[in-house]
Chain A
Amino acid sequence: MSNVAKSEFTVANAYRYDRRSATRWLISHVMRYRWFFFATLFLYIATYSAYTASEALIGQAIGAVVEPESLALLPTIALSVLGLKVLDAVLSLIGVLSIEFIAQRMEVDAREELYANLLSKSQTFHNQQRVGDIMARATEDVQQLNGMINPGVAITLETIIGIAVPLVFIATLCLELLLVPALFVLIYIVTVVRYVRRLNPVVRRQREQFGRMNAGLEETISGIEVVKACAQEAFERRKFRMAASLFRSFFVRQGYLEARYLPVLFFGIALGMAFLHGMHLYRQNLLSLGDVVALMGIMGVLRWPAFASIFSISLIQAGIEGGRRIVDILNMETELDQNKGGYAQPIKGEITFEDVSFGYGRLHVLRNVSFTIRQGQTVAIVGQTGSGKSTLTQLINRTYDATHGRVLIDGVDVRDWDLDALRSQIGKIEQDVFLFSRSIAENIAFGAPEATQEQIERAARMAQAHEFIMGFKDGYRTVVGERGVTLSGGQRQRIALARAFLSDPRILILDDSTSAIDSATEDEIQKAIRQVQQGRTTILITHRLSQIRWADLILVLDGGELVACGTHEELLRRSPHYRRIFARYDVALPPLEIVAAD
C-alpha cells in the first residue's frame, strides 16, 4: 500500500485489510474469520429448520393422534419434538457463539489496526487532530463494530433466515398457503423501513436534547458563583425549564411513534387471515387438520425474526458510520514528506525568518515576519494568546510549512533539511508537559533508554529536579502520571528539562507559560533554564518578566505581526507595546523615542 513508504512505524506480518471503502473494510474484517461466518450462516439455517420442523411436527402429531391406532406413535413423536427442539437450541448456541467470536475479534483487530496506524502517523498529523476525536474513534467507534456484528448482523441473519425457512415449510404444506405470509412479509418490509426512518431522527433529537439539557445544567452549576453573585437564578431556571420541556416533548413523540408500530397490527391480521385460508383449504380437502395446526405453529415462528429487526437496523447503521470514521483516519496521509537524503548536518543554531507568512485557508496566523537569531542566543517571544507565538516555533521544526517566505536554519531552508535530522536536533518542551505512567527515571531517560542511573541523576540535578524527586518515598522509581503521583506544573517542567539534558538538542524551544509558582520554585527553574541554554539556541515562549529580562533578544508579536524586536533596553525606548508591560512597575522608564512605526 502506498502509505507504507511514509509510515514512521510498521508491524511485521500484520494482516492486510481492504481500506478502499468503509464497507469493503468491514467486509474484509469479517472475512478474516470467514469460516466462523459461514458456520454461523449454516447453523442458523439448520437451527431455524429444526425449529420450524418441530412446530410442523407438533401439528402433524396433533392431526395424527386423532386416529386411535397412533397411540403407539406418541412416544416417538414426543421424542422427535424433543430432539428437534434440543437440536434447535444447541445449534443456535454454537451459531451465536461463533458470530460472537467474530464480533469480539472485530473490535480488538480494528483497535489494533488503528493503534498501529496512529503510531505510524507523523507528528504533523497528530498536531492537527484533537485528542478527544481520536479517542472516540479508538474506543466508541471500535466498540460499535462489535455491536454491529452481534447483535446487529446476527439478528439480521436471523430475520432473513427466520422468515425464509418458515416460508419454505409453508410452501411444502401447500403452495397456495404462501399467499398470506408472503403478503405479510411484503407489508412488513415496507412498514419497518418507514418506521425506522421516522423514528431515528426523533431518537437522535431526543438524545441531543438530553445532552443539551445536561450541558446547560452543568454550565449553570459550574458557574453557580457567578449566577448567585449576579442574582440570575430566575434566568437560569427559565433556561432549564425550557430545555427540560423540550426534552419531554421529544420523549413523548418517541412514545407516540413506538406505540404506532404497524407490523404488530399486520401480524395480528395476518394470523387471522392465515387461519381462515388454512381452514378454507381444509374444507376443500387440500390440507389435513394436522397441516392447519402446523401452519399456525409455523406462523408463530415468524413473530420473533420479524420484530427483532428494529434493533439491528440502527446497530448496523451505527457500525457502518463508525467504520467510515475509522477508515478515514486509517487512510489519512501526512502531507509533509520525510525528505530522506536531504541536508543532514549537526545544527549550529542560527535561525532566520525571511518574510514568513502562514495561515490556514483565509485565516492569517503570521504575516511577513522577518528576523535572525544568532547561534547560541536566548530569545523570548512575547505576545497575547493568539498572536502566533506557538505557530512561529512550529515553523522551525517543520510541524507546518510556511505558506510564504522561508525559514532557514544555519542558512539552509528547513524544507531542504532531512526531516529526521532536523527534528532530532530540535527539542521542544510543551506548556503542558506530558509524562507517561512510568517511573520518574524512565520518564527522564525516555529518549535515551540506555542511560545509566548516574547520567539520569546528573541530568536531574542540572534541571534542579533531584531534590524534589528524592523527596518522594520511592525516589526515582516513583510512578507518575495518571496511575501515579501527580506532579505540579513546575515539577513536570523540570523533569522535561532533565529529559532535554539527556537528549541534548541543538535548538530548544520551551513553552514556559505554565501556571504561577512560588518564588523559590521560580528561582530553581531560572537556574535550570540558564543551565540548559548554555551552548544551544533557546527559544522561550514566556509569561515571566525574569525570562524576558534574561533574554538576549525579545520578539514582540501582535496579531501575527512582529511589532518589535530587540533587547530590553532598545524596546523600552522604541516600543509602546513593550513599555506598557513595565508601565505599572515602580521603575523609571527611559523616554520613548518615536521611531517610524511600532
Chain B
Amino acid sequence: MGFLFDGLDAEAYDRTYDDRQLVRRIIGYFQPEAPRMLIVGFATLMDALARAVVPILISRGVDDIGRTQDDALIVAYGAIIAALGASAWLFNLIRRSLTAEAVGNVVLRLREDAFDAVMKRDLSFYDQFPSGKIVSRVTSDTQAFSDVVTLTIELIGQLLLVAVLLVYLFFVDAVLTLVVLIMVPLIVGVSLAFRKIARFTVQHSRRVRAEVSALVQETISGISVAKTFRQERAIYADFLKLNRRAFWINLRTGFVFSGIFPLLALIVAFAMAAVVYFGGLRVQLGALSIGDWYLFAQGVALIWFPLTSIASFWSQFQLGLAASERVFALIDSEPRVVQRDNRALPNLRGEIEFRNVSFGYSDRERVLENFSLHIRAGERVALVGHTGAGKSSIAKLIARFYEFQAGALTIDGVDIRALDLSAYRARLGVVPQTPFLFDGTVRENIRYGKPGASDAEVERAARQIGNGDWLKSLSDGLDTEVGERGGNLSMGQRQLVALARVMLQNPAIFILDEATASVDPLTEALIQEGLDALMRDRTSIIIAHRLNTVRHADRIIVLRKGQIIEQGTHDQLLARGGHYAELYNTYFRHQSLEYIEAARKADAAPAA
C-alpha cells in the first residue's frame, strides 16, 4: 500500500560509504539501461501531465458549458478527457514495464557480481560471517535495493503530478493556492510523527510475536514431556498470560496503523472547507471562475495522499542505500588467498612440508607458531590434541583454505602459493567433520568430486567402501534422494557418501576431519573398512577422534598449542606415559574394548 507503512521494522546499519559514492555506483549499474531509463523518464512526465490535465479540463468544461451552445465542443471535452485517461494508462504501462526490465537487469547483475565475489573469498571470510548473512546480502539486500528504486520512480511520478497541479493552480489564483498549501506541512508533519510512533509500536509487536513463537515452539517440542508428566494446565496458564499480553500490544499497533488515514482525513477536511469558503468568496469577487473553484477542491483531494509519501521517503531511501552498501562492501572485499603462479603438478606424490609456518585466523591470535612438519608421500598421519591445539589448521592450510603469515609450505617441494589451485585441489580429497551433502541423489553427490565420471565409475567407487554393503541400507541404493543437506541419511551414511566421493576423486592426498558424532556400531564398522581402503597408497592426514584410526596410523602427531610435543606409534606413545597417554585417558579409553571388558570383570567380581 502506501509508502507510509514501508520499512518501519528495519534495523539501523553502520555506514562507511558516503551517499554520493553509493549513488554514483548505483548509476554506474544503471548505465547499460540508459535508453530504457530515458524512456521511463519521458513516460513518467507524460503520465503526470496527462493525469494533471484531466481535472483542469473538467474545470474548463464546467466554465465553458454555460457560455457555449456548441455540441461539438461538449463532445470534444468528453472525448479528450477519456483520451487523456487512456494515454495516462498507456504511459504508465510503458513506464512500469521498462522499469521492471531495467531494475530486473540491474539486480541480476548485482547478484551475479556479489556471488562471484563470495566465491572468490577464502574460508576465513566464511568463518567470519554466518551463511545466512552472506545469503541475505546476495539476495535480500539486492531485493531491498530494487524495491527502493521502484518506489523512488513511483514517488517521482506522484510528486510530478502534484507539482504540475500546484504550478497551474498558482497561476490561476495565487492566494487560494496558499490556502491549499497550508495543509502541506501539517500532513507531512503528522505523517512523520506517525512513523515515529509506528516504529515504536511495531518493534514491540515484533518482540512479543517472537516471544509467542518461542513459547509455542517450546511447548510443541516438549509436548511429550508435558504429557508424560501431565503438566498441561501449568503450560496453558503460561501461554494464556503471554497470549493476552500479545493481544494488547498488537491491538495498540493495529490502532496506530488503522488510525492514521482517518486522522489525515481530518486535516484534509479543514483544508477542503477552507477552499470551499475562500474559493466561494473569490468567485463572488469575480477573481475566480466556477470551474477553477471546482479545480481547487479537486486539487486538495489529489495532492494530500502523495504528500504522505514524502514523509517516509527519506528513511526509505536511506534503507535502500544501506542495502546497496552492504552489497557493494561484499563485492569490494579482497580475498586473502592469492596464488602467484599457475604450476600444475600432474604426478602429485603427496609429500608435504611445513617449514617454520606461522598462522592465525585473526591478527590477534596465532594458532601455529614457527611450525615445522614433514609428511612423506604415502604416509598415514594422525593428528591428536585438545580442541584448539591446531589440528584442523594444519589440514586447512594443506587444502589452501587459508593464507598463512610466515614460513613456507611446500607440496612435492613446490611452494603451495605457486600451484594451480584448481588442479591441485582436484587431486586433494577432503572430508570435513560434518560431511556436507547437496540436495540430490547419492549418485550425484558421489559424482560431485569428478563431474565427468561415468555411472560405472561412481558405482565402483561406492563398492570400494565396505564392500558396497552400505548401499543396501539405502532405500533406492545409489538413486536415494539425500534430502536437504543430506537430511534423509543418517550421520554415518553421510560419512560413507563423503568417503565414496573422495574415493571417486582418487586423490593423492586424503584429508579427513573425523566426525565426533557417534554412529551406530554397524555403520561405524563400514566406515572403518572404507577408511582402510582410502588410506591405502596415499598420503593421509587424519584429525583423529577414533581409537581405531589412531591405532592404525603410521605416525601419531601429538599437538599442544600449535606445537608438536610428541610423535610415534600408539604403543610407543602410550608406553611413554606423556601427553598422549593423558589424551588417551580423556578421549579414547572408553572406545577400547579391553577397557570395557576389564571394567565389566571388575564389576562382576565382587558380586560373584
Contacts and interface: CB of A to CB of B under 8 A. Distances in A.
A235 B450 CA distance: 12
B239 to A, nearest CB: 6
Interface string B84-102: 1110110011111101110
Residue of B84, B89, B143, B545 with most partner-chain A CB within 10 A:
B89
B362 interface: no
A580 B490 CA distance: 19
Interface string A221-242: 1111110111111011100110
B298 interface: yes
Contacts of B439: 219
Contacts of A558: 522
A58 B297 contact: yes
B16 interface: no
A450 B348 CA distance: 70
Contacts of A283: 71, 74
Interface in B138-187: 138-140, 143, 146
A275 interface: yes
B212 A111 contact: yes
Interface in A79-106: 79, 81-82, 85-86, 88-90, 92-93, 96-97, 99-101, 103-105
A300 B521 contact: no
A482 B222 CA distance: 12
Contacts of B346: none
Contacts of A74: 277, 280-281, 284
Interface in A49-79: 54, 58-59, 61-63, 65-66, 68, 71, 74-75, 77-79
A108 B254 contact: no
Contact of A244 (B111, B229, B247): B111
7 contacts: A232-B451, A268-B54, A384-B522, A385-B473, A387-B473, A543-B524, A549-B597
Given A93-B262, A115-B243, A269-B85, A225 B214 contact: no
B567 interface: no
A521 B218 CA distance: 27
B596 A382 contact: no
Interface in A467-506: 481-483, 503
Closest 9 CB pairs of A and B: A268-B85, A255-B100, A276-B78, A272-B82, A85-B269, A385-B490, A447-B229, A272-B81, A259-B96
A111 B220 CA distance: 13
B10 interface: no
B220 A259 contact: no
B520 interface: yes
A513 interface: yes
A248 interface: yes
A513 B520 contact: yes
A38 interface: no
Interface in B95-140: 95-97, 99-101, 103-105, 107-108, 111-112, 115-116, 118-119, 123, 126, 131-132, 134-135, 138-140
B273 A289 contact: no
Contact of A436 (B222, B475, B523): B222
B39 to A, nearest CB: 13
A264 B89 contact: yes
Given A231-B422, A273-B78, A436-B225, A65 B283 contact: yes
Interface stretch (B26-34, B326-334, B403-411, B424-432): B424-432
Contacts of B227: 8, 122-123, 126
Interface in A360-414: 382-387
A567 interface: no
A115 B85 contact: no
Given A255-B96, A265-B89, A108 B284 contact: no
Interface in B206-234: 209, 212-214, 216-233
B301 A300 contact: yes
B306 to A, nearest CB: 14
A222 B131 contact: yes
Contacts of B86: 265, 268-269
Contacts, number: 456
Interface in A94-141: 96-97, 99-101, 103-105, 107-108, 111-112, 115-116, 118-120, 122-123, 126-127, 131, 134-135, 138-139
B217 A518 contact: no
B301 A543 contact: no
B593 A545 contact: yes
Interface in B461-492: 472-473, 475, 484-485, 489-492
A5 interface: no
B473 A386 contact: yes
Residue of B62, B138, B230 with most partner-chain A CB within 10 A:
B62
B588 interface: yes
Chain A: number of interface residues, binned into ranges: 35 or more
B75 A276 contact: yes
A329 to B, nearest CB: 11
A385 B243 contact: no
Given A131-B217, A515-B517, A213 B139 contact: yes
B112 A78 contact: no
A11 B246 contact: no
Interface string A253-272: 01110111000110111111
B520 A62 contact: no
A15 interface: no
Contact of A546 (B83, B229, B590): B590
B61 interface: yes
A100 B258 contact: yes
Contacts of B259: 93, 96-97
B228 A434 contact: no
B347 interface: no
Contact of B273 (A82, A215, A240): A82
A50 to B, nearest CB: 10
B216 A115 contact: yes
B318 interface: no
Given A135-B217, A582-B593, A259 B600 contact: no
A543 B518 contact: yes
B78 A272 contact: yes
A293 B62 contact: yes
Given A74-B280, A219-B438, A225-B436, A244 B251 contact: no
Given A85-B270, A214-B139, A543-B524, 16 more contacts: A100-B257, A112-B243, A115-B219, A116-B236, A135-B216, A143-B209, A219-B439, A219-B484, A248-B104, A249-B104, A269-B82, A279-B61, A385-B473, A447-B228, A482-B214, A483-B214
Given A89-B262, A221-B131, A254 B75 contact: no
Contacts of B123: 224-225, 228
A560 B281 CA distance: 94
A424 B225 CA distance: 12
A22 interface: no
B197 interface: no
A412 B438 CA distance: 48
B96 A518 contact: no
B293 interface: yes
A131 B269 CA distance: 52
B250 interface: yes
Interface in A514-529: 514-516, 518-520, 522-523
Contact of A385 (B484, B493, B551, B585): B493
Given A58-B276, A265-B89, A85 B79 contact: no
Nearest to B250: A104
Nearest to A423: B228
B108 A248 contact: yes
B251 A276 contact: no
Contacts of A223: 436-438
Contact of B220 (A120, A131, A276): A131
Contacts of B94: 259
Contacts of B265: 85, 88-89, 92
A149 to B, nearest CB: 10
B3 interface: no
A549 to B, nearest CB: 5
Interface string B43-85: 0000000000010001001100110000100110111111111
